[in-house]
Amino acid sequence: MKTALSLKRVMRASVAVGAAGALVFGGLTACSSDDDDSDSASNPAGKTTELPSNPATGDPIKIGFIASEGGAVQMPMLRTSGEAAAKYLNENGGGIGGHKIELVVCKQSEEPASATKCANEMVEKKVAAVLTPLSSQGAVMLPIVTGAKIPYIAQAPVSRAEFMTPGAYMLSGGTLAVLSGQAVTAAKDGIKKFTVLIGDSGDAATSVKAMATPIFKQAGVELKVVVVPVASADPTPEITAGLADKPGAVTVLGDTRLCVSSMKVLQSVAPDVKKYLIASCLDKPVWDAIGGQDKLIGAKAFTSVNLSSDDPSVILYRSIMAKYAPDDDPQGLGYLGYQVVMALGAIGKDIKGVTSDDLRTALTTARDVPLPAAPGLTFTCDGKAMPMLPPLCGKAIIASDVAANGKFENSTVLNK
């Protein structure tokens, strides 16, 4: 009953997850690596395997893919990993129910004009579904896509619309899952005070506080939200003041710049505080800026992927990236594009037709489908994972210990 009451308070906070999700989206702005060492089973990324030969032979099915790529937003790895997954399904994985995927790509630069253009292009080209790894422009694109009765599938929700709109399907719980997992972990770790460091863009701090306060209160943990000026060359004064009550753990919710600046300050003023980190704070540019991966040993990671694992689904991910996207960093953020394409392949393995209705039926009737490259996470898109937020197909998160070389250990699935 307490969980339901907490979630109702979250909903009354204007579905604050919308703005909160945007800040996590802002964190996914790292650059892909140019290193090509993923085709060897002995490389640091982990084991790979030979791919099967199972080409798709059926009539093509048009799948839209809206990429966040252009202008100030440069995340080509989200697109190239999605394209790699489509190539694998077409050449090695039997396509979608035997049908070859015709991936229709449109690049938008995370602003309304280009996002509207891409959404309209998807409708004009009559795609059967629209995939996007994640985007801050969901509120712009969703009405166009779902208005044409085309399923809209994303890896994680960002905008309020993506949490609420019928016809939207979110494979993971986004910021809501992260904060819920952090609250549960903090309580388990005996932490009494928890601090969130967040950038000063828009109303993100207010939204996160409204969303997270009941979640942490229910866990018995006192929450403090500290606003950090993202444009500041040195946010030491703000962070130092925010840590005056000596919290037991800290998380950073923001883009790569905020992760770098915050982690540098934490190293100086609170080196021993427990760090609960999201994907944007665990990416290579952050490691490089703070002096290497070993600086994060002992932190907790909260992610919807585990690229350190030798689970068969992760070995498959590394193998597909090695063959079809060899210039991408297999330890980077490309998994977001990969997951949305491979998830569609998983739910459509028995599909007969190539229409939006066929895919919608497959989406809403599949149960406990493993999320690609995320051992232990599943998704079910029948609207029941979190009834007050029906587009959410999953609410679980993977919590891991960060070990040497950025590897994840002791991974646990929370909030199943």
Of 94-103, 183-192, 193-202, 341-350, minimum mean pLDDT range: 193-202
Phi then psi for residue 106, to 5 deg, are: -135, 130
Two tokens at 87? 């190539």
| Number of helices (H), then strands (E), in the chain | 14, 15
Q: In the chain, pLDDT over 70 holds for what percent of residues?
A: 89
Element (H, E) at 42: none
Per the CB < 8 A criterion, the answer to whether 43 and 322 are in contact is: no
pLDDT-derived band at 39 (thresholds 50, 70, 90) equals: very low
Query: What is the structure's pLDDT at 21?
Result: 52
Query: What is the structure's pLDDT at 375?
Result: 95
Phi then psi for residue 241, to 5 deg, are: -65, -35
Residue type, 25: F
Instruction: Tell me: pLDDT of 31 over 70.
Output: no
Instruction: Tell me: pLDDT of 74 over 90.
Output: no
Instruction: Tell me: pLDDT of 15 over 90.
Output: no
pLDDT-derived band at 104 (thresholds 50, 70, 90) equals: very high
Distance separating alpha carbons of residues 369 and 169, to the nearest angstrom: 13
Query: What is the structure's pLDDT at 194?
Result: 98
Instruction: Tell me: pLDDT of 29 over 90.
Output: no
pLDDT-derived band at 202 (thresholds 50, 70, 90) equals: low
Q: Architecture of domain 2-12+175-303+402-414 in CATH?
A: 3-Layer(aba) Sandwich (3.40)
Cβ neighbourhood burial of 190 (10 Å; 0-12, 13-18, 19+) = exposed
Instruction: Tell me: pLDDT of 35 over 50.
Output: no
Query: What is the structure's pLDDT at 343?
Result: 97
pLDDT-derived band at 16 (thresholds 50, 70, 90) equals: very low
What number of CA atoms fall less than 13 Å from residue 23's CA on the CB side?
32
Query: What is the structure's pLDDT at 283?
Result: 81
Query: First CA to last CA across the chain, in angstroms?
Result: 17
Query: What is the structure's pLDDT at 36?
Result: 38
Contacts of 40 (CB under 8 A, 6+ apart): 48
Average pLDDT over residues 6-26: 44
Average pLDDT over residues 99-123: 96
Candidates 181, 371, 372, 64; CA nearest to 381 is 371
Distance separating alpha carbons of residues 46 and 36, to the nearest angstrom: 13
**In the chain, where the domains are located:** 2-12+175-303+402-414, 31-172+310-382
Instruction: Tell me: pLDDT of 11 over 50.
Output: no
For the stretch 136-194, pLDDT in tens is 899 999 999 999 999 999 998 888 889 899 999 999 998 889 999 999 999 999 999 99
pLDDT-derived band at 30 (thresholds 50, 70, 90) equals: very low
Instruction: Tell me: pLDDT of 17 over 70.
Output: no
Query: What is the structure's pLDDT at 71?
Result: 79
Average pLDDT over residues 331-348: 93
Q: In the chain, pLDDT over 90 holds for what percent of residues?
A: 67
Query: What is the structure's pLDDT at 270?
Result: 93
Per the CB < 8 A criterion, the answer to whether 332 and 44 are in contact is: no
Average pLDDT over residues 231-249: 92
- CA 400 vs. chain centroid, Å, equals 16
The CATH T-level fold of domain 31-172+310-382 is: Rossmann fold (3.40.50)
Instruction: Tell me: pLDDT of 65 over 70.
Output: yes
Q: Higher-confidence residue: 330 or 53?
A: 53
Q: In the predicted model, what is the mean pLDDT of the chain?
A: 87
Q: Please determine whether the domains at 2-12+175-303+402-414 and 31-172+310-382 fall in the same fold group of CATH.
A: yes
Average pLDDT over residues 47-67: 95
Contacts of 209 (CB under 8 A, 6+ apart): 196, 223, 225
For the stretch 357-403, pLDDT in tens is 999 999 999 999 999 999 999 999 999 988 999 999 999 999 999 99
Distance separating alpha carbons of residues 414 and 396, to the nearest angstrom: 5
Q: pTM for the complete prediction?
A: 0.86
Per the CB < 8 A criterion, the answer to whether 85 and 65 are in contact is: no
Contacts of 183 (CB under 8 A, 6+ apart): 194, 212, 215, 216, 218, 219, 221
Distance separating alpha carbons of residues 289 and 16, to the nearest angstrom: 31
pLDDT-derived band at 350 (thresholds 50, 70, 90) equals: confident
Average pLDDT over residues 102-117: 95
Query: What is the structure's pLDDT at 364?
Result: 95
Instruction: Tell me: pLDDT of 32 over 80.
Output: no
Average pLDDT over residues 240-258: 91
